[in-house]
Structure 1
Amino acid sequence: MLAARGVDTIFGIPGVHNQEMYRGINEAGITHVLARHEQGAGFMADGYARATGRVGVAYVITGPGLCNIMTPMGQAYSDSVPMLVISSCLDETAATKGQLHQMKDQEGAASTVCDWSVTARHADAAYALIDRAFAEFEAGRARPKHITVPISVLQADAPSPPAPNAHVAHSVHTVRDSVIHDLANQIKAAAKPLFVFGGGCIPAKNGIRLEDPVRALLRRSGAAAFTTYAGRGLLACDDPMAFGAYLARPSSAEVFAKADLVVVFGSELSECDLWRPDLGHDCPLVRVDIDPGVLAQKIGTTTQLQADATQVVMALGAALPQITPPKWAAGEIAQTRQRWRSEVDAERSGIVPICDALRAAVPKDTMIYSDMTQFAYVAKEVWDMEQSGHWHHPTGFGTLGYATPAAIGGSVARGGKPTLTIIGDYGFQYTVQELGTAVELGLNLPIILWDNDKLQEIEDSMTRAQIAPHAVQAHNPDFCKLAQAYGANAAKPTSLLALVDAVQTAFEADKPTLIHVTPAILDD
Structure 2
Amino acid sequence: MTSAGAATVTTVGEALISLLEAHGVDTVFGIPGVHTVELYRGLARSKIRHVTPRHEQGAGFMADGYARASGRPGVAFVITGPGLTNAITAMGQARADSVPMLVISGVNATPTLGKGLGYLHELPDQRGMMEKVALFSTRVTEAGELPGALARAFALFSSSRPGPVHIEIPTDVMVKPAQGLAAMLGNAAPPEPDATAIASAARLVAAARRPVILAGGGAKRAEDPLRRLAERLGAPVIQTANARGLLHGHALCVPASPSLKAVRALMAEADLVIAAGTEFGPTDYDGYGDGGFVLPANLIRIDIGADQLVRRRVTVAIHADCGEALEALLLQTSAVAGSESGAARAAATREAAFAELAPVMQAQVRAVEMIRDELPGSIIVGDSTQPIYAANLYYDHDRPGGWFNAATGFGALGYGPPAAIGAAIATPDAPVVCLTGDGGFQFTLPELGATLDAGAPVIFVVWNNRGYREIETSMLDVGVEPVGVSPAPPDFCKLAEAYGIGAQRLADIGDLPRALRDARATGLPRVIEITVD
Task: Return the alpha-carbon distance in structure 1 between the equivalents of residues 196 and 310 of structure 2.
Answer: 23
Supply the AA of the counterpart residue of 2:386.
Answer: Q
Alpha carbons of 1:220 and 1:476: their partners in 2 closer, same or farther (altered >3 Å)? same
Q: Hey, what's the Cα distance between the residues in 1 that align with 2:410 and 2:516?
A: 29
Answer yes or no: is 1:317 the counterpart of 2:330. yes
Q: Aligned with 2:105: secondary structure?
A: strand
Mean Cα displacement is larger for which, 188-197 or 268-277?
268-277
Instruction: For residue 238 of structure 1, report the CA deviation from its aligned partner.
Output: 3.0
1:80 aligned onto 2:98: yes
Structure 2 residue aligned with 1:333: 346
2:294 corresponds in structure 1 to 280
Alignment of 1:43-442 (within 5 A): 43-91=61-109, 92-95=112-115, 97-168=117-188, 170-171=189-190, 173-203=191-221, 210-239=222-251, 241-275=252-286, 277=291, 279-280=293-294, 283-298=297-312, 300-321=313-334, 324-328=337-341, 330-346=343-359, 348=361, 350-363=363-376, 365-394=377-406, 395-442=408-455
Larger displacement relative to structure 2 (308-317 or 83-92): 308-317
Shift of 1:348: 3.3
- Structure 2 CA distance for partners of 1:166 and 1:103, relative to 1, 3 Å: closer
| CA apart distance, 1:322 | 5.3
Q: Secondary structure at the match of 1:505?
A: helix
Equivalent residue letter for 1:175: P
Cα offset for 1:179?
A: 3.1
Deviation at 1:279, TM superposition (A): 4.0
Maintained 8 Å contact 2:502/2:527:
yes
The 3-state SS of whatever aligns with 2:182 is coil
For residues 481-492 of structure 1, the aligned pairs below 5 Å read 481-492=494-505
Partner of 1:517: helix, strand, or coil? strand
Q: CA deviation at 1:109?
A: 1.6
C-alpha distance in 2 between matches for 1:77 and 1:325: 37
Q: Please, what is the CA RMSD of the aligned residues?
A: 1.9
Match of 1:207 in 2: none
Deviation per CA, 1:406-451: give whole Å up to 9, x if none: 1111111112321111111101011111100111122221101111
Select the residue among 487, 500, 508 that pairs with 1:495: 508
Amino acid at match of 1:153: V
- CA shift, 1:85, in A, is 0.5
Q: Helix, strand or coil: the match of 1:467?
A: coil
Q: CA deviation at 1:278?
A: 6.5
TM-score (norm 2): 0.91
Show structure 1 runs of 4+ deviating over 6 A. Answer: none
Q: Secondary structure at the match of 1:477?
A: coil
Does structure 2 conserve the Cα–Cα contact (< 8 Å) formed by 1:119 and 1:147?
yes
Q: Deviations over 1:216-241 (max 9, x none)?
A: 111111222211111112224231x3
Residue 206 of structure 1 is matched in structure 2 by none
SS in 2 for 1:100: coil
Aligned 8 A contact 1:416 1:444 in 2 = no
Letter in structure 1 aligned against 2:316: T
Q: Deviations over 1:286-329 (max 9, x none)?
A: 2111212211222x422222222211111112223358453436
Aligned residue for 1:380, secondary structure, equals helix
Q: The residue matched to 2:230 in structure 1 has which SS? A: helix
What's the TM-score once normalised by structure 1's chain length?
Answer: 0.93
- The corresponding residue for 2:472 is 459
Deviates more, 1:483-492 or 1:315-324: 315-324
Alignment partner of 2:531 out of 498, 509, 518: 518
1:36 aligned residue: 54
Q: Which moved more, 1:339-348 or 1:370-379?
A: 339-348
2-structure distance, mates of 1:37, 1:136: 27
d(CA) in 1 for partners of 2:94 and 2:497?
A: 31
1:143/1:332 CA distance change after superposition, 3 Å? closer
Q: Contact 2:147/2:183 (CA < 8 Å) preserved in 1?
A: no
Q: Which amino acid in the other structure matches residue 416 of structure 2?
A: A
Structure 2 vs 1, CA of residues 353 and 228 (structure 1 numbering), >3 Å: closer, same or farther? closer
C-alpha displacement at 1:242, in angstroms? Answer: 2.7
Relative distance call for 1:104 and 1:238 in structure 2 (3 A) is: same
Q: What amino acid maps onto 2:266 in structure 1?
A: V
Taking the aligned partners of 1:421 and 1:469, their CA distance within structure 2 comes to 28
* 2:12 corresponds to: none
| Residue 349 of structure 1, CA deviation | 6.0
Q: What is the deviation of 1:382?
A: 3.0
Task: Answer whether contact 1:286 1:301 (CA < 8 A) is retained.
Answer: yes
2:481 aligned counterpart, secondary structure? coil
Structure 1 unaligned regions, length at least 5: 204-209
